[in-house]
Amino acid sequence: MSVTFKIKQAASTAIKELYQVDIAPSGVLVNATNPEFEGDYTVVLFAFIKQLKKSPEVLGNEIGGWLVQQHPSMFSSFNIIKGFLNLVIADAYWVNFLQEQHSNHKFGIKEHTGKKLMVEYSSPNTNKPLHLGHLRNNFLGWSVAEIYKTNGYDTVKTCIVNDRGVHICKSMIAWQMFGNGATPQSTNTKGDHFVGDYYVKFNDAYKLEVEQLIAAGKTKEEAEKQAPIMKATQQMLLDWEAGNPAVIELWKEMNSWVYSGFDVTYKTIGSDFDKTYYESNTYLLGKKIVAEGLTKGVFTQEEDNSVWIDLTNDGLDKKIVQRKDGTSVYITQDIGLAEQKFEEYGCDKSIYVIGDEQNYHMKVLKLICQKLQLPSADGIEHLSYGMVELPTGKMKSREGTVVDADDIVNEMITISKQRTEELGKVKDFSEDELKNLYTTIGLGALKFFLLRVDPKKKMIFNPEESIDFHGFTGPFVQYTYARIKSVLRKLEDVGSGNLEVDFNNHSLLKLEKDVIITLEQFPTVIEEAAQENDPSKIAIYVFNLAKTFNSFYVEHAIAKAENEEKKILRTSLATLTASVIKTAMHLLGIAVPERM
């Protein structure tokens, strides 16, 4: 139980005892005390002034006095600043917390709740490699799944692959026209890059044909429709849907090249899935649901046989759910897949990690599922995230200006090597150890940089800035962990037994207390990160913990502490700090090196 919850409970009891008024603990607002004032946590009194008919000063003195008198092992003193009751938590409370938790490697990890969660992320197209935007998507999805797992949920990680449609047909047509039978193997090219190159070749050829048709007198609109390569692509899509054997065979082969490439990237970045769905298997889903929705009156059929739903009363608009020829649209497929997922896994909550350009689509999906009274409906959540841009601006895959995930990862590892060698502290590492270290630091920097920002915000990714051993970065946290582990290796003779201290008389120095207070907040931060689907809360927390520990370590020795009691306490403090850093970084998908 967190200290903030204990304060809420104690304050609730105080109000009941002093004024015979019931205020639930959840109705008590507790914040960290403003650094300008004395105190650790603050109870905000304004909400009670009118009901209890007392001035803030009187109310604060009465409640504060009761808390200190009734709970002397928790509260040592208090002060009132206007409507704020600032409470000083007794040093004995923090020392006792450290004694109980310092060797608990599962601190912050909850027992199973019996609840089940699904997270869908990645959602790649099979006409191109994963790019920088996909990295943010993958890191968010994996991290959120792990955060919920730590909060006691059974988690299911899924991916829907967009493996059909005009986009892959463009790469297929370009390969037929320009490939001359080349393969990833014959050209020594990673499969997803190989297919992606032909997507760019298609666009180059298409633009040239459009320019030629315009020069011949066609309007831009006419030229775009009549360009031979586009007409061939549209015919290939029709042939695929008709099951043309030659088209299906080429489609399977080119997709297999892409999947082989994806697998390499996923393994490198540490992304994995419990179940992968393919659009080619799901695009017909939902037709049965449309028929049922018509029967229930949720949908209406127009004269041309198309089927619609009117959401104008819900602040949206009319939405087609089935074309006049009876074929499904994207929203219909998504409704069908949502039902299939629920039937397969029965998850209480299903989180879709999808860019913010799909905000409207996701609102429509959830609302239609609710109107259809599908059991999965209320559990649908959209983790909407902003796009990632480079300092040079937006990326466009069809023009070949997207930064591929593989290239970014390789660049990060290269920068990691340069920065680490500049520090000159790894001369005793073997070649394999150095390779692992550079990869760990490079990937750690990349993940931390992409996850440290609120998902809802757009962001600019700067590789050089992300690997700064002194900034708000993954390498700074990794270095702090390695530093602590180095200290602990030298202090192995101290062990990690119970603290031999007098709780009533032991006093903490300010920086010792700052670290312990930060450590105690870890379980609450994990809960908040899950509630808001926001891994940035973990990143911000672990950075602040590392920074706070470094401030403490600069001022106070551990091995050469002023006495044995302090040495044991600080060793325990360092042990728990290392453990929490390791757990927090794991929640971000980041490994921490034992030395660097």
Nearest to 92 by CA among 505, 498, 500: 505
- The pLDDT score that the predictor gives to residue 124 is 96
In words, the CATH class of domain 116-295+331-399 is alpha beta
User: 3-class SS at 210?
Assistant: helix
Q: Is 80 exceeded by the pLDDT of residue 399?
A: no
Band of the pLDDT at 421, cuts 50, 70, 90?
confident
Mean pLDDT estimate for the chain: 93
Distance separating alpha carbons of residues 114 and 111, to the nearest angstrom: 9
Q: Is 80 exceeded by the pLDDT of residue 575?
A: yes
Whether the Cβ atoms of residue 455 and residue 385 lie closer than 8 Å to each other? yes
DSSP string, 440-502: HHHHHHHHHHHHSS-TTS-EE--HHHH--TTSSSHHHHHHHHHHHHHHHHHTGGG-S------
Q: Is 50 exceeded by the pLDDT of residue 395?
A: no
Give pLDDT tens digits for 227-261.
999 999 999 999 998 999 999 999 999 999 999 99
Among 265-274, 393-402, 509-518, the least confident range: 393-402
Give pLDDT tens digits for 466-479.
888 889 999 999 99
Q: Is 50 exceeded by the pLDDT of residue 503?
A: no
- The residues of the chain that CATH labels 3.40.50.620 are 116-295+331-399
- The pLDDT score that the predictor gives to residue 500 is 53
Q: What is the 3-state secondary structure (H, E, C) of 284-314?
A: CCCHHHHHHHHHHCCCEECCCCCEEEECHHH
pLDDT > 90 in the chain, percent:
85
The DSSP symbol for 134 reads H
Which CATH code fits 415-587?
Answer: 1.10.730.10
Per-residue tokens: 422:
């500049």
Band of the pLDDT at 538, cuts 50, 70, 90?
very high
- The pLDDT score that the predictor gives to residue 463 is 83
- The pLDDT score that the predictor gives to residue 497 is 46
Q: Is 80 exceeded by the pLDDT of residue 505?
A: no
Q: Is 90 exceeded by the pLDDT of residue 14?
A: yes
In the block, residue with structure tokens 């009363």: 313
Residue type for position 102: H
**CATH number of this structure's domain 3-89, picked from the four choices 3.30.420.40, 3.40.50.10860, 3.30.1360.70, 3.40.50.1460:** 3.30.1360.70
- Burial per residue of 251-283, b for 16 or more beta-carbon CB atoms within 10 angstroms, e otherwise: beebbebbbebbeebbeebebebeeebebbebb
- The pLDDT score that the predictor gives to residue 223 is 96
- The residues of the chain that CATH labels 1.10.730.10 are 415-587
Among 319-328, 347-356, 372-381, the least confident range: 319-328
Band of the pLDDT at 89, cuts 50, 70, 90?
very high
Distance separating alpha carbons of residues 121 and 142, to the nearest angstrom: 8
